[in-house]
Chains A and B, each alone.
Chain A
Amino acid sequence: MTKQIQSDACSLRQQPDDRGYFGGRYGGCFVAETLMPLVQDLALAYKTAKADPSFQRELTHYLTDYVGRPSPLWFAHRLTERLGGARIYLKREELNHTGSHKLNNVMGQILLARRMGRTRIVAETGAGQHGVATATVCALFGLKCVIYMGSTDIERQKPNVFRMRLLGAEVVSVTAGKGTLKDAMNEAMRDWVANVKDTYMLIGTVAGPHPYPVMVRDFQSIIGTEARDQILKVEGRLPHSVVAAIGGGSNAMGMFYAFLDDSSVQLVGVEAAGHGLDSGKTAASIERGRSGVLHGNRTYLLQSRDGQIEETHSISAGLDYPGVGPEHAWLHDIGRVQYVAATDEEALEAFQLCTQMEGILPALESAHAIAYAMRVAPTLSKDKVMLLNLSGRGDKDIFTVARYLGVKL
């Protein structure tokens, strides 16, 4: 008994505390007073739902029959052969309905919103994957849906914008700032504060005020839970390393969570370096940022010396954000996860390699994880296993890729 308590106390899977703090430092609940009663209600509603078997049953039903879980684990043999080192497995989150991991979280939150009697959903989106997932469940349940998206992202993710509109969502273009995810988040929060009576804000990543970071992580943790079982089944052992791309960090947190206490497993989060870590055009919040407060939580942020948030750059709209989820900030500080970066160019190369070797078009976001594998897998022996999260499909990115390749569509 005593032993059990001790091992729980040492677990890295017990965060955050009741106030939403990871490691006592990152996270928290930094919102205007108007929103405080709402996020506190939400925290309570989530806690109740989480402990309610009927909620879990309902969620499992939708995840199985609508989202299409479990997602397969694929041994990428041609990619493995080409790189000539570690055995590479892909967790196929791109095969979920709507084409990314985003629906795992959205399904959980929409069921919660319905329990809470909310009738109008607002969400922010970068690449549009979270927006499409949100618009999808709103269509499924007949709820009003408003998606805020930066004007730059609307331009570079046109197919997703049209998908959202087909699904019945109102897509609002945000022209403030550089017109990317940060600006969309600002505007979604303004909408929420002005429509507190009926509106649920459906945040798509492991950031925002408590309880969003823990709630989104919980809903996404099915990725790692499945992958851990799957790899144990096919390989009979845990992987050497687990790799995921990281913008806000929901696919990475969902993948890592199941492995946090497996100390033999190396966890690697790949940030978007953009034009390069020191180019001034980057989105690598952990490697080039420092601790600060934005969008409801304390975390690593790309910011000026005076605490003004900086504009970011990544070829991938989903990673083009100046912050990162607070749990990642904590995991970085304690050294449990190693955070590295891949540039636009490396991601584009990885996009093409994965497409040609495996017949899978990865999202540009996920291509950052593959870029890491291209760099590191060849240096590892052939008996090592590397598990990558293929968080989304790349169909939405073909226009961006074509432009970089100089092809006119």
Chain B
Amino acid sequence: MSRITACFQALSAEGRGAFIPYLEAFDPDRATSQALLEAMPAAGADLIEIGIPFSDPVADGPVIQASALRGLRAGVTLAAVLEMVRQFRKNNTTTPIILMGYVNPIEIYGYDRFCCDAVKVGVDGVIVVDLPPEESGILKIPAERYGLDIIRLVTPTTTEARLAYILTQASGFVYYVSIAGVTGTHFADSHDLQKAISRIRTVTSIPIVIGFGVRTPQHIQEAVAIADGAVVASALLETLAETLDHNGRSTERTLPAVLEQIKTLAQAVQKSRN
């Protein structure tokens, strides 16, 4: 059984949803980013999403854009992101790791090579924002060969016909993009969310996770009450950015501040246990 499936089964037995915090690789530097990654499970992360910085993140709002730029300035490469996961796996063999990014760095790295290396270092799934199912054959074939889940995105604009098409290809979990817009803007209306998640559940039995716009403990409680998990990204990156010095370097407040917020969010998810 994959780490992702095992994780959702265990949480389901516990009667609660998954909390998935996000970090951008190398934001603001390699060491801080690695330390944050390694401290996340103890702070309450059930799964972890790592952003692969890209120069032109068209689906992201200003917070993730700035974060990606800091990562790039710190010298991040796709190979270095994989190395972060390899390090992480030395002490953690259970927390699923999902990489999220844009297609070009993966295309340049090579699809087959990427899937092979990702699985080897212990990556469990990958979300490629600008690779819709129509174009994803190039990634799907090697991903299946090496056993890497491609996490599919469903959005408020996804039609019935597309929903069925997308979900026949989904593995691991489904990522529901809760708003039509870029990351880090507003939280969706919970009635709309309820309707959207029910619609997806009629087509698939794999776990559904809500992302985009989940910022506060209250949001995440609402989200995990409706779906099987939720991702918090921009809110954490914002906290991280606030702790940096005027040169954009990490300070002694950086790690504690982000981890504190992760703990608060994790507690909110714990409380939602039914």
Chain A residues with CB under 8 Å of chain B are: 19, 28-38, 176-177, 182, 186, 189-190, 193-194, 196-197, 292-296, 298, 301, 303, 305-309
Inter-chain contacts of A29 with B (CB < 8 A): 132, 134-135
Q: Mark B116-150, 1 if CB is under 8 A from A, else 0.
A: 00000000000001111011000000000000000
B65 contacts the other chain (CB 8 A): yes
Given A36-B134, A186-B58, A193-B181, also A307-B105 (CB < 8 A)? yes
Inter-chain contacts of A292 with B (CB < 8 A): 104, 107-108
Inter-chain contacts of A32 with B (CB < 8 A): 58-59, 129-130, 132, 153, 155, 177
Nearest B residue to A298 via CB reads: B107
Inter-chain contacts of B153 with A (CB < 8 A): 32-33
Question: What are 24 inter-chain pairs, A to B, with CB distance below 8 A?
Answer: A30-B132, A30-B135, A31-B130, A32-B58, A32-B59, A32-B155, A33-B153, A33-B166, A34-B156, A34-B157, A37-B162, A182-B56, A190-B58, A190-B182, A193-B181, A194-B185, A196-B180, A293-B104, A296-B130, A303-B108, A306-B109, A307-B105, A309-B55, A309-B56
Given A32-B59, A189-B58, also A309-B185 (CB < 8 A)? no
Shortest distance from the beta carbon of A63 to any chain B beta carbon, whole Å: 32
Given A32-B59, A303-B108, also A194-B135 (CB < 8 A)? no
B72 contacts the other chain (CB 8 A): yes
Shortest distance from the beta carbon of A348 to any chain B beta carbon, whole Å: 30
- Are B104 and A33 within 8 A (Cβ)? no
Q: What's the count of A-B pairs with C-beta under 8 Å?
A: 107
In the bound complex, how far is the Cα of B156 from the Cα of A294, in angstroms? 24
Shortest distance from the beta carbon of B82 to any chain A beta carbon, whole Å: 12
Max chain A Cβ within 10 angstroms of own Cβ: one of B78, B132, B177, B182: B132
In the bound complex, how far is the Cα of B105 from the Cα of A350, in angstroms? 38
Inter-chain contacts of B65 with A (CB < 8 A): 176
Given A30-B132, A32-B129, also A37-B104 (CB < 8 A)? no
Inter-chain contacts of A37 with B (CB < 8 A): 157-159, 162
Inter-chain contacts of A298 with B (CB < 8 A): 107
Shortest distance from the beta carbon of A154 to any chain B beta carbon, whole Å: 19
In the bound complex, how far is the Cα of B200 from the Cα of A230, in angstroms? 58
Given A37-B157, A196-B180, A308-B72, also A31-B132 (CB < 8 A)? yes
Inter-chain contacts of B154 with A (CB < 8 A): 33
- Are A294 and B182 within 8 A (Cβ)? no
Given A37-B159, A307-B78, also A30-B58 (CB < 8 A)? no
Nearest B residue to A176 via CB reads: B65
In the bound complex, how far is the Cα of B156 from the Cα of A9, in angstroms? 41
- Are B56 and A293 within 8 A (Cβ)? no
Shortest distance from the beta carbon of B107 to any chain A beta carbon, whole Å: 6
In the bound complex, how far is the Cα of B188 from the Cα of A34, in angstroms? 15
Nearest B residue to A197 via CB reads: B180
* Other A-B pairs, 17, CB within 8 Å; known A182-B56, A295-B56, A295-B58: A30-B135, A33-B154, A33-B166, A34-B157, A36-B158, A176-B65, A177-B56, A293-B130, A294-B56, A298-B107, A305-B108, A306-B78, A306-B108, A307-B104, A307-B105, A307-B106, A307-B108
- Are A293 and B107 within 8 A (Cβ)? yes
Q: Which of B71-130 contact A (CB under 8 A)?
A: 72, 77-79, 103-109, 129-130
Q: Which of B8-56 contact A (CB under 8 A)?
A: 54-56
Max chain B Cβ within 10 angstroms of own Cβ: one of A36, A177, A296: A36
In the bound complex, how far is the Cα of B132 from the Cα of A38, in angstroms? 13
Nearest A residue to B161 via CB reads: A37
In the bound complex, how far is the Cα of B61 from the Cα of A308, in angstroms? 18
- Are B77 and A306 within 8 A (Cβ)? yes
In the bound complex, how far is the Cα of B56 from the Cα of A294, in angstroms? 8
Inter-chain contacts of A35 with B (CB < 8 A): 157
Inter-chain contacts of A36 with B (CB < 8 A): 132, 134, 157-158, 162
Nearest A residue to B132 via CB reads: A36
